Structure 1
Amino acid sequence: MDPLFQPARVKDKPLIEPKREKDYIDFPVLGLFRDDVPTLARDLSDFIQKVLNEGYTFSHNDDDYTIQADTEKGSPADLSILMSSPLELSSSGKQRLPLLLRKYLEKRDLKVFNPRGSDLERTWQTRLLCGLILECIDPECRVQSTIDKLPHQAKHNFNQWRETAQKYLKENPEPNKPLSLDEFVTAWQTRTPIGRNKWKQDVPLIELTYQLVTWIPQLKDDVESLVYLEAVTRTIAQTGIFNSFGGEILHHDDEELNNSSVREAIWNILVPIATGAIEIDEGLLETLPDDRINIMSIHQAKGLEFPLVIVDVGSDFNKNYTAQEFKRFPREGGKPCNMEDEIRTCSPLDEPGRTSRDRAFDDLTRQYFVAYSRPQDVLLLVGLNSLKDGYETKQGPRRISNVATGWSRDGKWHWNRLNNLKHI
C-alpha cells in the first residue's frame, strides 16, 4: 500500500509543542465526522477554540492526550484548514463548510483568513469599491449604456456594484470633514474641482481608487480586505500599461474623447473583474497573518507546514452523486485529461502512456499526499458520517468511494469505515 494510506501512531504528549527536531516524523491522525455540515462546523469550531486555549483532551489506549497550542509562542496561524476548494458558497448559493466555520469561529472571537472564500467580483469590498468607481466616472450609466456587447454577467455585477455603492453613500460613512464621501462622489460626477481652480485634465484611475479607500476602513485595516484591494489595484495598474489612455480618465474639451477614456476603463479594467477573469494572485498570500486561522486550498498549501492541519475530506459528499465523482473517485479523465490527450497528439510527446482515468487518479492522490504531509504534529480529517458509514438507498446501504478516505482505483477500501483513525 502507498504510505499515504498507512494509519499513523499516537506518540508523545502534548501533541502540539514548540518546533521539535526534524527527525520526529510520527503524528496522530484524528477524525471528526458528523451527520451534517452545520453540526460539523459547530463541533470543529469547538475543537479549534479548545486547542487554542485550554487544550483539547482525548483518551487513547487508556492514556490521556492533550492537543494545545504553545502557550508562549503559539498563535491561530499554527492551525490550517485545507480543502479542495475554500469557496464559501456553492454554485447554487448554498453555504459550505468554510462559511459556516467562519460564522461559528467569529462567535468565539476567532477570525479566519480565507481571501479565496469568494470570487473577487462577489466580495462586498470589491462590490463597494468598484461600484463607487463606476458612480464616479460614469454617473447614471451614460457611457456604460453605449457599450455594445457588454457581457450579461458584467451588466448584472455592475448593477449590484452600483446598488452597493449607493446604499453605502446613504450611510454617510466617516470621515465627513473636510469632505464627505457623498461630496467627493458628486464632485467627480460633475467634474467640480475641490480645493483647486480647475479639474485636472488627466486623472489616473488608480489615484481615484486610493482616494475612495479613505471612506472604506476595511480596505485599510482588515488583512483579508487588503488582498482584494491589491487585486483591484494591480488590475488597474497592469491593464493601464496597454490601454490607449494609460488607465486615466480624461477631462478635455472633447466630450467624445472623455467618454472614450471612461469606456476603455469600463471595458478593459472593470469588465474583466466583473466577469471573474481576475483571480487572487497566490503571490499575495505568501505571508499569512499571525492572528487568524488559515483556510486555504490544498494546492495553495504546497511548501508550507503547520503544527495542526485539518483536512476536509468530503463535507460536500453526503451521497454518491455522479457529478461529484471527479473530485473524489473519477470514472473518466475529465476535461483536463481529455484536453491533454488532444494536444499531445499534435506535439512530439505523442499519445500519453497512461489512460486519462489513471492520470485523474494520480492527480487526486498527489493532491491529498500534499495535504496529509503538511502537519508537523497533528492531522485531523473532517467530513460527513456518510463517508465512513455509507447511506441508505432503496437498493440497500451504499458507500461513497473517495480517494481521500483510502479508496484505491480498483474499488477497494483500505480504510474500511475509517477504523484506522482516532475519532473525536
Structure 2
Amino acid sequence: MNFEFSESFALQMDAQDPLASFRSRFHFPKVDGKEAVYFCGNSLGLQPKSVKDHLEKELNNWADLAVDGHFHGEDAWYHVRKKSKPALAEIVGAHEHEVVAMNNLSVNLHLLMVSFYRPTKERYKIIVEAGAFPSDQYMLETQIKFHGLDPADTLVELAPRAGEHTLRTEDILAEIRKQGDKLAMVNMAGLQYYSGQLFDIKAIAAAAHSVGALAGFDLAHAAGNALLKLHDWDVDFATWCSYKYLNSGPGNISGIFVHERYAERSDLPRFAGWWGHDEGERFRMEKGFVPMFGADGWQLSNTDVLGLAAHQASLDIFQESGIENLRAKSEKLTAYLEFIIREISGESGVLEIITPNNPAERGCQLSLLIHRGGKSVFDEWYHQGVVGDWRNPNVIRLAPTPLYNSFLDVFRFAKILEQSLKKFA
C-alpha cells in the first residue's frame, strides 16, 4: 500500500476502516486536558464503556440475590466462567474445553509448570529468550530451584546475534536440536515484550516435540494482538493476561490453554483446588481430587465474578469485531506508523525501529531504540499528548491498537515526532 504523510490521507483511511466505529466504545485518557494519543495498549488496554453496565449487573445480582446468585439469575456464578470460553477459544485458536479464565498470569505460570515441568537427571534443560519479562524470569528461576536444580545450569537463554535486536527462528530451532535429549521444555514468550518480535510458535513447538520436549508460551503480549492457532500448532500449554490487548482492567483475570491431549490426564501432578474438582460431585465435599475435563481441571478457587464481568465486556467486543478483522487492520495501522517514523526520522540518527518489519513477525507494537536524548524524548512526547511506554535502558514502545486507535492518531503522533526531532537531532 502507498502511504502518504498527510492529514487528508489519514482521514481517508479512517473513513474506509470497517472497524472505525469501535473507537467510540472506549474511554480515552487526557493529557493536560486534551485527549491523548494512546499507544500503550501493550501495557494497559483502554476501558470499554460497557464495563460499567457489566459490573452494575453483577453488583445488582449480589444485592438482590446474595448467595443465591451462585445458582439463580442470568449467568449464575457457579457456571459463569463458561460465558467467556467462546471468545477466548477464538482469540487463541483453541477448543472451548482447552481454555478457561482464572487467576493471574504469574499464578498460572507456576501452576502449569507444576504439571508440565518434570525434570529428570538426563532431561531438565529449559530454553527461554534472553531478557524475558520478569514474570517469566522469576517464575523459571524459582521453579528450577524448587526441583533442586541450578538455574545457571538449567536455563538456556537465547540472545540475538551480535549487532542484531531480534532472534532468528533458525537459531531458536538449532538450539532446540542442540539441546536434544537434555531439553525438557521450551518456555518462551509468544511475543517478546521489549523488541516486539512475534515468534514462530508453530515451528518452535514442532521442534521441541521432535526432540521429546514440551512447548509452553507466555502470551501476555500476543493474546488479542496476533493471530494464534494454539490447538493446530500443537502447543502443550499457554497462559496470558487480560489487561493489555484484551482491555479487561488493571491486574484483571488471566486465562490458560491446555491442549486437549491432556484433557483427561488425571495422572498429571498439579496443585489442585476445589473449583478444579469434578463439578458434578463438588458439593459432596469429599476427599479425593477428581479433575474436571480439560483446562477447567487446573482451576483452584471459585470465579472472580466482578473481574470476569469486566473481562466479558471486552470479550463481547472482540467477538463482534472478529480477531481476523482486527489483525488485518493492525497490519495496516502498524505499517502506517512505521512509514511515518521512517519518513520523518530519516537520517537523523535519533531513533531506530528494532521490531521486525515483516508483519508476520510482529504484532501492533513498534519498539524504538533511542540513540540521542534518552528518556527526555519520551517525556517530550508525553507532554505533547502521546502515551507510550518507556523501557530501560533506552526503548520507547508504541502500540497502535486496532480496536480503538485510528490512522489520525498516527498522524497526530507524526506531527509531534516531527517537532521533537528538531529538538533532539
Q: TM-score range by the shorter chain?
A: under 0.3
| TM-score for the superposition, normalised by structure 1 | 0.25
| TM-score for the superposition, normalised by structure 2 | 0.25
